[in-house]
Structure 1
Amino acid sequence: MTVTEPGVMQWRESGTGLRHLADVATRITRSVESVIDGKPEVIRTALVVLLAEGHLLIEDVPGVGKTMLAKTLGRSIDARVRRIQFTPDLLPSDVTGVSVYKQDTHDFEFRPGPIFSNLVIADEINRASPKAQSALLECMEEHQVTIDGVTYHLESPFMVIATQNPIEMEGTYPLPEAQRDRFTARVSMGYPSPAAELTMLDSHGNTEPLDAVDPVTEAAEIIRLISLVRSVHVSEEVRHYIVDLITATRRHPELALGASPRATLHLIRTARARAALDGRAFVVPDDVQAMAEPVLTHRLLVRPEIAASSASVTEVASRIIAEIIMRVPIPRPGTRPPRRGR
């Protein structure tokens, strides 16, 4: 077990750390809910991804609050936040930065792009070309940028929150599989309830609610909480359960591509974060099941003949994940899975 912050183990042993994490999470949640009303599960998933050191993909039709959610979460944390508007003419250097030749020194000077922030909002990511989208691959996976053979490391915490419209919308490019796989989780905002929409008319009608949002925590605090989440215990039985779920996606007859080993890592990290938010220093199967859909849905590639006969590929993927969860046996406390053959 690796703990990167001094005192995190003592926090875990005494329970003080988990109580503090819950307090910070509550403050962030209330801050976001002051702008985004009626979406508690979406906000909770965003918090889980933040504490799991991941990246979030928010997909839905225009006008349902995708960008507002990302901006409000960024405003709630006293950290560097940058927004990138993805457009068809966006270049990779517009994201990562560029080396500029200086006449006075006869040398090149690197000017960092907006990716050098703690929280990056990639707005309407699928309206840029795949070439521009690829600028995020190294950043999201390795937390670094390589320009002209020189590697620059990104500060922690680092999180990309990308919004995208459904691929059926005009002027969109589908995200490549490698790009989708780097997003820890995917959520959909959905339309607000009538009550929430009435509240929105009152709060958004005359003022900009984002202006009233002040930071409720800071980047250094988030780093400490991330270290605490890393120390959440995952038993051998739960680890085998996660691998069994992932393996089942690779053998499903309706899928051309199952979940990757990166998906396995993301599922265990988000399960840890969810357990910590619930005040537990250990992961239970319920944590894994709750995070399976947001973590796996966008990674699965449905066979063409199944996709052609379905109204929504996402709905098919969600159904398959639900079937797998029902079929894969849940580990019982105190039991150990049989040793796997070579």
Structure 2
Amino acid sequence: MKEEGKKFEQSLAVINAVRERMAERIIGQNSLVDGIITAWIAGGHVLLEGVPGLAKTLAVKTFAELSGLTFKRIQFTPDLLPADLIGTLVYEGSSGGFSVRKGPVFANLVLADEINRAPAKVQSALLEAMAEGQVTIGESSHILPRPFFVLATQNPIEQEGTYPLPEAELDRFLLKLQVPYPTLAEEARIVTASASGALQNASDAKKTRVDPVFAPEALYSIRKDADSVRCDESIVQYIVSLVAATRPSPEGRKERKVRDDYQKYISFGASPRASIALHSCAKIRALFEGRDFVLPEDVKAVAPAVLRHRLVLSYEAGSDGLSSDDIVARILSLVSIP
């Protein structure tokens, strides 16, 4: 076997080990687990959206333990202040000066629970951390630990007392993962396992930690393998065409005849950051499949999670009952596959 194949085997062994260990606590939700692993390898952040009780927090905590990363959970509330997130200056009476007291954002993995419950100034503080990998306390900037990984959750069914995330911050998330209800078979397994005590909830998981399955240094080896996956120029053009098709502008109207039927549903489309994210995530999915080259199917598989939070839909979309996923599915069906 080629040396490259051996490297891929090592990376896949780590990825599959994480999948298997997470499955010991979380039944189903395979797309959630794979999405978290994908973003972790790509070095991006994740927004998790789903109703309460679908194991979002448990999945994040379990991944933090398996990865060996330092972990902090922040419960976002309307009265939260930026200092509660990033830290503040504290006056020291003995020295007559100020010292820095770092906040919980100084961790490798940060769980921002119910992020849309915090006001704009707190969300802006997190935006700097996500975008720049640093925070400003007083007049000084402080570098955050590396790697730095934010997983934020939000509840889609509650609107009162929430502050919708601005588009600028949504664009900083590499992926937005929809956490669905389990299937009937999966829910039956959850009930049975919970009744027998075999399934842990979030509080039990805190008492019984799992051992890391790999050292944090393994991340850089897996990233190197993902970077070595080949992406043909035709696939790059396909990615760019998909993203351009989301834009209600002259630059995105090269395939006008197939665009006009959904054009009215989009107010603002995705930026080049979406193209970069599609390219990176498609290569990682190819790695998941044990391939050293990207197929159009890889791009199509990751497109919904990459694009759904980057589209600003028009009033017509809401009145016709269409979601971002519906529009992305339409675009995927219309843009020519290389």
- Mark yes or no: TM-score above 0.5: yes
Equivalent residue for 1:84, pick from 70, 74, 94: 74
CA deviations on 1:111-134 (whole Å, 9 max, x unpaired) are 221111111111111111122111
- Structure-2 residue corresponding to 1:152: 142
CA distance, structure 2, for counterparts of residue 235 and residue 13 of structure 1 = 22
Paired residues of 1:275 and 1:282 also in contact (CA < 8 A): yes
User: Given the alignment, which residue of 321, 324, 333 partners 1:326?
Assistant: 333
Confirm or deny: 8 A CA contact 2:48 2:176 kept in the other structure: yes
- 8 A contact 2:231–2:294 mirrored in 1: yes
Question: C-alpha displacement at 1:306, in angstroms?
Answer: 2.3
Is the Cα contact below 8 Å between 2:65 and 2:209 reproduced in 1? no
Q: What's 1:171 paired with?
A: 161
Gaps of 5+ in 1: 1-10, 332-342
Please name the residue that 1:248 is paired with.
245
Q: Does 1:288 align with 2:288?
A: no
Q: How far apart in 1 are the matches of 2:284 and 2:150?
A: 17
Deviation at 1:56, TM superposition (A): 0.9
In structure 2, the CA distance between the partners of 1:299 and 1:167, relative to structure 1 (3 Å rule), is farther
Deviation at 1:228?
A: 2.8
Given residue 323 of structure 1, which amino acid in structure 2 is its aligned partner?
R
Tell me how far apart the structure 2 counterparts of residues 224 and 68 of structure 1 sit (CA, whole Å).
27
RMSD (CA atoms):
1.9
SS at match of 2:245: helix
Note the C-alpha offset of 1:32. Answer: 1.1
2:179 match: 189
User: How far 1:247 sits from its partner (Å)?
Assistant: 0.4
Cα gap change, 1:245 to 1:298, in 2 (>3 Å): same
CA 1:317 to 1:131, structure 2 compared with 1: closer, same or farther past 3 Å? same
Work out the number of aligned pairs and report it.
317
Cα deviation for residue 28 of structure 1 reads: 0.5
Q: Indicate conservation of the 8 Å contact 1:156/1:223, yes or no.
A: no
Give the equivalent residue in structure 2 for 1:117: 107
- Whole-angstrom distance in 2 between the partners of 1:106 and 1:280: 61
Q: Give the aligned partner of residue 200 of structure 2.
A: 208
Native 8 Å contact 1:79 1:219 kept in 2: yes
Partner of 2:95: 105
Partner of 1:35: 25
Give the direction of change, closer, same or farther, for the CA distance of 1:90–1:34 in structure 2 (3 Å limit): same
User: Which stretch has the larger CA shift, 165-174 or 270-279?
Assistant: 165-174
Q: Does 2:314 match 1:317? A: no
The offset of 1:316, in angstroms, is 2.2
- Return the alpha-carbon distance in structure 1 between the equivalents of residues 94 and 157 of structure 2: 48
Cα offsets for 1:82-102 (capped at 9, x unmatched): 111111111111111112122
TM superposition score normalised by structure 2 = 0.88
Q: Does the 8 A contact of 1:157 with 1:223 survive in 2?
A: no
Q: 2:42 is matched with which residue?
A: 52
Mapped to 2, the partners of 1:220 and 1:203 lie a distance apart of 34
Q: What's the TM-score, normalizing by structure 1?
A: 0.87
Cα distance 1:262–1:149, how it changes in 2: closer, same or farther (>3 A)?
A: farther
Residue 167 of structure 1 deviates from its aligned partner by 5.4
- Give the drift of 1:168: 4.0
CA contact (8 A) 2:11 2:221 kept: no
Aligned residue number for residue 276 of structure 1: 287
Q: What corresponds to 1:337 in structure 2?
A: none
Q: Distance in 2 between matches of 1:98 and 1:62?
A: 32
| Distance in 2 (alpha carbons) for counterparts of 1:152 and 1:273 | 31
Of residues 129-138 and 219-228 in structure 1, the stretch that sits farther from structure 2 once superposed is 219-228
Which among 220, 226, 232 is matched to residue 223 of structure 2? 226
Please give the secondary structure, in 2, of the residue aligned with 1:218: coil
Q: 2:51 maps to which residue?
A: 61
Tell me how far 1:305 sits from its aligned partner: 2.9
CA–CA distance in 1 between the matches of 2:212 and 2:183?
Answer: 28
